[in-house]
Every structure is written in structure tokens, then in C-alpha cells.
Structure 1
Amino acid sequence: MTDARTILVADDDRAIRTVLSQALARSGYQVRATSSASTLWRWVEDGEGDLVITDVVMPDENGLDLVPRIKRVRPDLRVVVMSAQSTFATAVKATQRGAFEYLPKPFDLKELLAVVERALAAPATAAVTTGEPETEKLPLVGRSQAMQEIYRTVARLTTTDLTVMITGESGTGKELISRALHDYGKRRSGPFVAINMAAIPRELIEAELFGHERGAFTGALNRGIGRFEQAAGGTLFLDEIGDMPPEAQTRLLRVLQEGEFTTVGGRQPIKANVRIVAATHRDLRQLIRQGLFREDLFYRLNVVPIRLPPLRERMEDIPLLARHFLDRAKAAGLPGKQLSSEALDALKAHSWPGNARELENLMRRLAALYPQEVIGADAVAAELAEAVQPAGPDGSAQPATLEQAVERHLQTFMAAHKDGLPVRDLYERVLAEVERPLLRLALGATRGNQIKAAAMLGLNRNTLRKKIRELELPVVRGLT
């Protein structure tokens, strides 16, 4: 095909060059492939190629350093960056240096071909961001697919002022994402101001956000500057937005619509020069259905949604996160520690209701309380067992939930048989151990009346009788 578009591929891995060349050729493209950045640069200078696909790490030059040089001499030539160093820092650097797209390795060939198609069809742009911030100290850690998608999304958003809504359970890192959007974005030279709606009395939220004039309310002896003014030129992070009272929601909607606000008790409009990033652990759509959150405000805030996955959905990131948190603990003055492979297995077996925050707290405890340099599974299991036992009304330790109590029991069991489980049918065994006390307590509460016990449990009476026989539970005669 003489009119086929030409793709320049640079990667020091021969297998990847072969796979890419074959896939692109099958899609109708001409391909020139090399293992050297210098050869790629020569092709670019000679005017060859309609698109560049380059790895980051190559023998003679870093592919990221090559991107701005390519954009300077050929602004319309799109560059797709690939990297096995699948970190947020790589995604941000690739975006800020002018790459069209960043793809972490291993990548899906269908996705890469879709990126190639988009890149070749995209309108021309010569914009290259300069003066990028240091990215090596970023707190965002993880190489799971879920985190890669977040890295790519946040990297794209650093070049915009779009409003962002971050959702996720407590402890998933919503404020870290908001800080990354600010620290590596267009407004990084301005202030980052955060306000937690759940931590401020409802009657004071409007004054906290928009400021107030002297005499606007009892106790307002002087003019107060609100968070919108404090964040001028920077980013305003509205944490726990789901807890914002209705009257404040109305005022915030007006600011987002009109781009200006007035202080409480004031009349002079003030221009709102901030980027808004909101976050919540609550289901805002459910709050809308309940009449507790304005639907129009939701759509104004939810311009770009980012969902942070709970830690249980990215268990493969636990070793990296644990190492990261141990390094931070060491930097804070605690002893340096390592985790055994069995300890890592114990961490992966935990459900992490407190998410990454819970993991960080655990790593700090292990670093502070255990003298051994290499922490084993027993120490991890002991600390996790303690963590899910808040004090009960009588001061005794109690499991926080049934799930956590069962998990603690299983962790102890697994740790005791880490060299191999001596039992089979563990699933059925666990179910039986939960069923037995449940049925025994239900029968006790109904004084042995199986009809009432079945109704309490939501079971058919015959089903209950069958389970009583299977589990060999005692029966009080005359009350069946």
C-alpha cells in the first residue's frame, strides 16, 4: 500500500518490536522498527513517519526525553509512550512532555491499535507543557490495572481546569488524588485549599466557603476571608461534599454557574478563580433520590468522575504499598523493616475495610513494635486480629463485625498451617461452623420452637429440621 500511514516503533525488546510490527502491518500500516533512540530521532528529523510509538527505557536515551525534542521539530507528529515502569510519575511526565497517550506494559494490542487510530485522526496541536514539577516523590503507588487507569486519567487532567469528582471508600486516597491534580497541574503555583464539609458545623459552612462581612452574624466582629478567596489562582478541594447542607449547595451551584460569589452579608460580587475538586465516600445518586443532594449541582461537579477502588479490588498492589509505607515509616525515624513472603500472603488475605490508610497504620505499628528486621506472618496476623477488636460496652475486646470475626479466625487458622492445610472441604467446614451457632441461638431464643425459629431465620420449617439433623443439634421435645 503506497498510501499507508507509517508508524515508527522504538523498543529495545525484540519480541515487543516483532509483535507490534506484525499487529500494525495486519491493520494496514507500514512499520519501521528500531531498538535505538538515536535511529528513531534520525527518522523523525528526516521527516519520516506519521506516528511514533516509543518505549521509555532504551540503551542510548530515555524515550521521555525524546518526546519534547520530537514535538519541537515536528509539532504535528503524535507520540505514544510505552513503559514497564508503570507509575504515576511516568504517566504524568509522558503527558506533560507532549505525548499523545501513555500505555503501561503489558498492554492490550486492541487498545494499542485503537490509540493509534485516534492519534492519526486527532486534530493538530503544538502545545507542549514545560516547567514540569518533580514527580519521583509522588504518594500514588500501585501497578494494578485499576491504578493504571487512574494514573492515565489524572495525567490527562493535569493539563486542564476541568472540575473533578472523586469517589471512593474512606482511606482510598481521595485527598492524594486531589493533591496530585493540583501539584502537577496548571495551577500548581497557586494555593491548595481543602475544606471538609463533615467537620464544620452546618450553620458555618457558607461563611467558611465564601467569607463574611463584619456584623453579618453574631460574633462576626471582622471581615472573614472564605476558602474561595484563599484558594484564588489555585485549587479548592471540597471533601465529603455529600455532607454539604442544602442552603450551601444552592450557593455553590450559583458559583459554578456564574463564576462569582458574594460573602455572607456582602453585596459586591467576587470572581471565583479556582479549580474545584470534590470528593465523597457517599452515594450521591442515592442522596439525590432521597432529596438530600441537588441533582443540578451533582452534574456541575461530576464533569470528570474518578472512582478510587478499595484495596480489596487491587490486592496485587499490597506488596508495593507495604514497602512504600515501611519506607515512609523509616523516613519518619522508625526502624527499617522488611516483610517475609508469608507476611505478604497474610496481608493479601485480609479484606482491608480501612483500605490503604489501614495498611499504612499497620506498617507503622509493625515498624515501631517489633524488634526483628524481617516481619513474619505471625506478627501480621496478631496485629490484624487486634485491629478488628474494638472495646465492647464492658471494656472487653469485641470483633467489629461478623465478617471481621470470621476473617480473624481464618487468619489464625491459615497462619497455623502455613506449610500446607491439613483439611479438605474448607468452604463447607466454615459454613457449618457459622450455621451451627446461628441455629443454636435461634432455637434458644424461641425456646426450641422450630416454627418460630424457622420464621426468625427466614427458612422453611422442613429445611430447618434437615439442618438440625445434619449439624446434630439438640432438640427440645414438645416445642417443635
Structure 2
Amino acid sequence: MSRSEPRESQSPPLVAEVSTAIGHTPSTVASADQAVPVLTLISHPTATRAGERLVLEGVAAGREVAVSRNGPNFTRPGETFGQPLSDPFVSRTPIVFSPGEEGRLRVRVGEGGTRVVVDGQLLTSREFTPEELAAGVLLELSGRVVVLLHQASNKARAPGDTLGMVGESPGIRRVREHIQRIADLNVPVLVRGETGTGKELVAQAIHQHSPRKGRPFISVNLGAIPKELAAAELFGAHRGAFTGATRDREGFFRAAQGGTLFLDEVGEAPPEVQVMLLRVLETGELYPVGGHTPIKTDVRLIAATDANLEEHIRDGRFKAPLLHRLAGYEIRLPPLRERREDLGMLFQHFAREELEAIGEAHRLTPQDPYAEPWLPASLAVRLLRYAWPGNIRQLRNITRQLVIGSRGQAVLQLDPRLAEELDAAGPAPKLEPAPTPTAVARRKSTEVTGEELLSALRQHAWDLKSAADTLGIPRSSIYDLIDKHPNIRRAGTLSAEEITACHQTCGGDLNAMVQRLEVSKKALNRRLKELGLSARSS
């Protein structure tokens, strides 16, 4: 609907619209911490409303829930009071959500009601399967409001500290719970997650809620330190211990004394540093480079990695005892694609930072309810369907590009370069359900023949994860199968001479080297970096 279309008369809300909403009697309310259908606002003409949600407990209790412009209320997690959709282009004729058979959920739009679009098609009546609900269903209302229909716990979050983390998805709630359990203990923590998921933010939250809060928090990226200097940077060095050591060096461990040391990209630690880290964790003592007297240290160590350390151990690049010591307690961060209901809140959070910097924070709370949304619904859908390989960091950067690139404009504009980036992974994929911890393999690894294994590896250019998925076995099992196969090698067992010769023959083309050597692409790329050889992908 555009501005020129007639507005509906401003009559009082219809009681019938909300009479079948969430019930309050013990017999109809879903039990505590049960998974129920939820509507989460991804975008709204009032952008600050992103993240508000409506728990469809009535549907879980076997009843209909009618949602219209005037009710029921969407509320922010942790808060008591909320407000209805209220957008004048959303009809008073309700969208009705009701239980279907075998766990399905039926959505029905009354005649003349709100224009609802799902997957580019106009919705009048449709049932969604449990699998679709687990993946999340995007509903675009009147081309202005975008909501995600998904499943979530109906357990309300108590008002309080969010630990500096934006979002209410099950994954991020679990991360908060882990932090609260471990923060006050002096146990090493290993934070695992893809690049850009916010591992340092977790480390800071642990430190800020620990007894060491008032002491130093030192953050070190091991991947950014030259390998030959890593030991001296971490543990300190005496003057003259190596060429260029013209003075004593304190080192990050002693700088963090009494506090917390965060080691990012711990999988990049050189072998000698791994040995020294293991000693510190086992004895609480360190030896500076060039020193012969141990120094007592009192540091809480938090490490992080986006690497598969188990694969590093198999390739001989990481010590298993060190992994066991670092992972005194392990926290896994979910990627953004597994917490899509948080995307609206995250976008609004980053947008507010940029808008305040350029003096346009009023964009988030427009005065004219009939104005075009600052975040167009079509752009919100596009953002939600993107795979986000760079996770939160990438979302923050794209938000900055959008806000600054649209400075002074009434609505956000998507320039060709950003459009190309969002389309780089091909057509927008349908939302995929997050993997569940209870998922099991379809086959036993013992059922896979050597010929099948070799064929799958060649089919997927030695991408172990894709090969394991094709074979229907866990990724961890494929390593054992490779070890047992007499004709399959690992990158960690290749000699430097063989790799160097292949690099020269293939002109540094990584893909060609993988086909020639028949080893894991990731593992081979790491070996090339260790040997100081550059690689390119054809």
C-alpha cells in the first residue's frame, strides 16, 4: 500500500481479534521451557522495535491466535509491557495462527486482510511443517513489516544483565548461561566458533563477571605475531636472549598478572609456545626466553579458535595435552546463520551506533507512521536470507556501509557493490534449521568401503566435511577412515620437498595442488603457510 491509498477508518479495536490470544489459565498455558511457535520482529517502520516477539502459547495449547494491527502485544524479552504491530498499513482483519495435524501450524489471512508474502508468493492459507518452523518462516506484512515465524522456548528471560551480548536466540542464551556458570571459577576456558562470531566479547564477559574484574584484561592475537617472536611476546625475554633483544621484555603473561589473558587464534601457536603454555597451565610457572629461573604467575587463561584443533592434532600441528588443558571448560559460539531471529536486533544495534555518529538517530523512530520504513522490508528479507560467512563482524561492516552510504536519504539504499556482495553466494537460500546436538549419523563408518571413501573425497575436491556428509558419517569418523586407508595421505605427513616441488609445478595454484597431492585443501594451505609459500585459488 502506498501513501495514495485510502486509510482505514480509525474505529476502536475489535475485541474478537484478540479474544483467542494467549490464554492465562493453568490448563491452557504451555509448560515451562517448552518449544512453542514465536513471531519475532525482524524489521518494523519503527526500527527500534526489532527483536520484539509474540509467543504463540495459544497455538501450543491447541487454540487459535489472531494477530492484527491492534493486538496482541509484541514484547521485548525480559520486559513485561509491549505494544501491538500498530502499523497503519497492517489490517485490522486478523492473520489467524492455529494448530494443524502432526505438529503443523496453519496460517490463514482473512479476505481483505493484510497482504502477507512468503517466499515471494502471496499467502491466503497455508500449513507449515515442523521442519519449516524449525528453519524459520519469513512473513512480509504489507511490504513494511517483516516477522520470523519460528520455534523458541517460552521460558521468559528475567530482566537483568545481557552480558553485553545482543540477541535472544537459544544459542546466545546458552552462551550466557555458560558464562554465568564459569565466570567466578579459576578454570581455563576454550571459546570455539567461526571467525567473526564474537569470541573476544565472551572472554571480556567472563572477565567482567569474575573476581578478577578489577585486574588487567590482556587480549593477544597469536595469528598476528611472527612465529619467531611469539614466545618472547608471551613469556617475556632477557636482554641478549636473541638477536634484537636489546632490553628485558616483560611479556603478556606478566602484564596480565592477577587478571585474564585472552589468546585468540590459539591454533596458530608455534610448537615451542605450545610446550611453554602447557607448562604454565600445569605448574603455574613460566620461563622467560633466555631465563633459567621459573617465575610464578597468577593468570586466568581464556583461549579461542575458529580452527578444528582435533584436525590439527591429527596433522601433528597441535598437542593433544594442551587442548585438554585449555578446554577446562568449553564454550561454543553459534554462527549468525543459526541465530537469525537475532539479526534484526543486531542490525538495529549497529545502525544506532552509526546513526548517532552522523547525527541521524531519528531515523530509528520516525514521527510519521505513514512514512516509508527506513529499512525497507525487501532489504530486511535479503539480509535475513544471506549466509553471513563473516558472521557478526561482517554484519557490522555491512550495516556501516548501508548507513553511511545512505546518509541524508529517507530510506536505506543498497548500492551495486553491496548488492553484489550479498549475492556472491548465489540466489538467496531458504532458511536452514540449526543443527541439533542429538543429530545422529545415517551410517556407521565401518560400512564405508575404501572405494567409496576415495570416490567421495575426489568428488568433493578433498573437502572432508562435504565428503563426510555425502557418505552419511560424522566428520570425526572420516579421519579414522583416512588413517586406515593405505593409499590416502594427510597433508601433515607430506615432506617439505614434495610440497615445494608440487607448488612449483602447479604455479602456486592451491586447487591444482590438492588434485595432484590428493590431501585436504585446508590442511595443505596451512602447510604452505608454514613453509612460507604463497597460494592462489583458480
Normalised by the length of structure 2, the TM-score is 0.48
In the TM superposition, residue 242 of structure 1 has moved relative to its aligned partner by: 0.4
* CA 1:311–1:382: 2 relative to 1, 3 Å: farther
* CA 1:272–1:407: 2 relative to 1, 3 Å: farther
Contact 2:193 2:333 in 1 (8 A): yes
* CA 1:346–1:355: 2 relative to 1, 3 Å: same
**Matches of 2:30 and 2:164 in 1, distance apart?**
36
The SS at the match of 1:407 is coil
Matched residue, 1:301: 326
* CA 1:21–1:405: 2 relative to 1, 3 Å: closer
The SS at the match of 2:24 is helix
**Matches of 2:259 and 2:425 in 1, distance apart?**
46
Offset from partner CA, 1:394-436 (integer Å, 9 cap, x none): xxxxx8xxxx25237x89xxxxxxxxxxxxxxxxxxxxxxxxx
Matched residue, 1:387: 421
Matched residue, 1:396: none
In the TM superposition, residue 285 of structure 1 has moved relative to its aligned partner by: 0.4
Matched residue, 1:282: 307
**Matches of 2:31 and 2:180 in 1, distance apart?**
30
**Which residue, 426, 432, 446 being the options, matches 1:406?**
426
Offset from partner CA, 1:164-205 (integer Å, 9 cap, x none): 111111111111111111122221100010111111111111
**Matches of 1:23 and 1:107 in 2, distance apart?**
6
* CA 1:16–1:254: 2 relative to 1, 3 Å: farther
* CA 1:300–1:142: 2 relative to 1, 3 Å: same
Offset from partner CA, 1:268-306 (integer Å, 9 cap, x none): 221121111000111000000000000000000011111
Which fold has the larger relative contact order, with Cα–Cα distance below 8 Å and residues 6 or more apart in sequence? 2
Amino acid at match of 2:259: G
Offset from partner CA, 1:322-366 (integer Å, 9 cap, x none): 011011213434633442333211111111111111111111111
Matched residue, 2:383: 347
* CA 1:57–1:351: 2 relative to 1, 3 Å: closer
Unaligned runs of 5+ in 1: 1-12, 25-54, 60-103, 113-133, 389-398, 412-455, 457-480
The SS at the match of 2:341 is helix
Contact 1:165 1:302 in 2 (8 A): yes
Unaligned runs of 5+ in 2: 1-21, 34-76, 82-151, 364-373, 431-514, 516-538
* CA 1:56–1:200: 2 relative to 1, 3 Å: closer
In the TM superposition, residue 240 of structure 1 has moved relative to its aligned partner by: 0.2
Matched residue, 2:274: 249
The SS at the match of 1:166 is strand
The question of 1:316 aligning with 2:341 is answered: yes
Matched residue, 2:249: 224
Amino acid at match of 1:206: A
In the TM superposition, residue 387 of structure 1 has moved relative to its aligned partner by: 3.1
The number of residues matched between the two structures is 284
The SS at the match of 1:277 is strand
Contact 2:23 2:29 in 1 (8 A): no
Contact 1:346 1:381 in 2 (8 A): no
Matched residue, 2:155: 107
**Matches of 2:200 and 2:25 in 1, distance apart?**
37
**Which residue, 17, 24, 42 being the options, matches 1:15?**
24
In the TM superposition, residue 15 of structure 1 has moved relative to its aligned partner by: 2.7
* CA 1:16–1:154: 2 relative to 1, 3 Å: farther
The SS at the match of 1:352 is coil
Amino acid at match of 2:426: V
Amino acid at match of 1:234: G
Matched residue, 1:292: 317
Offset from partner CA, 1:247-279 (integer Å, 9 cap, x none): 110111011011111111112221121111000
**Matches of 1:16 and 1:259 in 2, distance apart?**
57
Matched residue, 1:9: none
Matched residue, 2:443: none
The SS at the match of 2:230 is helix
In the TM superposition, residue 18 of structure 1 has moved relative to its aligned partner by: 6.6
The SS at the match of 1:375 is coil
* CA 1:274–1:311: 2 relative to 1, 3 Å: same
Amino acid at match of 1:407: P
**Matches of 1:239 and 1:327 in 2, distance apart?**
28
In the TM superposition, residue 17 of structure 1 has moved relative to its aligned partner by: 6.5
The question of 1:160 aligning with 2:203 is answered: no
Contact 1:335 1:367 in 2 (8 A): no
**Matches of 2:196 and 2:30 in 1, distance apart?**
43
CA-atom RMSD in angstroms? 3.2
Provide the identity percentage.
Answer: 39
4+ runs deviating over 2 angstroms: 13-24, 55-59, 330-338, 340-343, 371-376, 379-388
Amino acid at match of 1:158: A
Larger radius of gyration: 1
**Matches of 1:271 and 1:17 in 2, distance apart?**
59
Alignment of 1:59-208 (within 5 A): 106-107=154-155, 135=161, 139-208=164-233
Contact 1:350 1:407 in 2 (8 A): no
The question of 1:363 aligning with 2:399 is answered: yes
Larger helix proportion, structure 1 or 2? Answer: 1
The SS at the match of 1:15 is coil
* CA 1:287–1:349: 2 relative to 1, 3 Å: same
**Matches of 1:16 and 1:209 in 2, distance apart?**
60
Contact 1:311 1:352 in 2 (8 A): yes
Contact 1:335 1:368 in 2 (8 A): no
**Matches of 1:157 and 1:163 in 2, distance apart?**
9
**Matches of 1:23 and 1:321 in 2, distance apart?**
27
**Matches of 1:315 and 1:306 in 2, distance apart?**
20
**Matches of 1:351 and 1:234 in 2, distance apart?**
37
Contact 2:197 2:391 in 1 (8 A): yes
Matched residue, 2:411: 375
